[in-house]
Amino acid sequence: MEDTLEFAKGMHAGKPQLSLALRLIQNTGVMKRHIVQPIEETLRHPGLEERNRIFEVESKKRCPAVVQQALANAQLTEQDIDAIIFVSCTGFLMPSLTAWLINTMGFRSNTRQIPIAQLGCAAGGAAINRAHDFCTAYPDSNVLIVSSELCSLCYQPEDDGVGSLLSDGLFGDAVAAAVVRGSGGVGVALERNASYLIPHTEDWISYAVRSTGFHFQLDKRVPGTMEPLAPVLRDLAMDNGWDVAQLDFYIIHAGGPRILSDLSYYLGIDNDMFRHSWRTLTEHGNIASAVVLDALRRLFEENELTPGAAGMIAGFGPGITAEMSVGRWSVDVTSAVNGVLHAVSAYH
């Protein structure tokens, strides 16, 4: 954070909104972030073509390791995977990185490819939900989720609005992978998922696509979106016969401290129940679609859940969109519930 504040003071010295932006950055709670380039390179803009080249090179360099770790944790091989969901909102490849992964890492040629590019931070939750849907339709299938979010490649040095300056101090880079097994394994046995769009908010989180690339736009009303979304989360839990305030674990997108604190308040949940998301935010910043995967990694590593423990996963992003799911912690290798999410691994 100290480095971020110093760079912001130097880059935007004399701007009237700078003092407000610095206070907002200090209030993010983000103490550390990881970026794929030295900060001096990040602060320069070599053009959209070069940035997208870096996105491709760095994604191909870093994703295989997390994929291999996720497969090992799931006790599966590349040949066991029936679909790959690749999510990112910070670079563009066509064909998707799914094709490169299939050709390079030995996945079957008939592996389904499901790229998700335009759901932003909600894409982590969406990937889990689409994997759950796939395993429900094809019960013996296994789905690999891969996230590559190199948010620093979207830095725009000429953008000096408060929203842009705040985002410059909030977002970090990460790659992550997870496996959803159709049956067996250890992890969250997914039971139900849902999506919700807050009407007429599609311009609250958006990209302006210009010759210089993606310019992140954030409306000042975004931090207040947990008030209308809290009832949606409550209803999803209720549809599964649960009280949302009485669950055993919560994996929530850490878009910023206001998101987590407001959701805690509106749902009547102790703030410590969001500890995995808070730690992701503090140690890595907002890492977009990878947040829920990193928070899930922490849940696995904490290793305190007993079989049958109930919980919720929720990602929020442009739209304003919420992608939510509920499930139980399972250690039953013969579980009949379709969609056991486990083997989460994130490297930053």
Identify the CA nearest to 125 among candidates 25, 299, 34, 252.
252
Give SS3 for 126: helix
Phi-psi region of 114 (alpha: psi -120 to 50; beta: other; left: phi over 0): beta
Instruction: Please identify which residue in the block is written with the tokens 């599964």.
Output: 240
Where helices occur in the chain by DSSP H, the ranges are: 2-11, 18-26, 39-42, 48-73, 97-105, 123-137, 162-168, 226-239, 257-267, 275-284, 291-302
- CA 242 to chain centroid, in Å, comes to 25
- CA 107 to chain centroid, in Å, comes to 24
Within 8 A by CB and 6+ apart from 325, the residues are: 125, 128, 129, 132, 190, 191, 192, 193, 194, 312, 313, 314
Among residues 121, 135, 151, 154, the one annotated as catalytic is: 121
Within 8 A by CB and 6+ apart from 6, the residues are: none
Asked about 89 being catalytic, the answer comes back as: no
8 Å CB contact between 342 and 300: yes
**So which residues are the catalytic ones?**
121
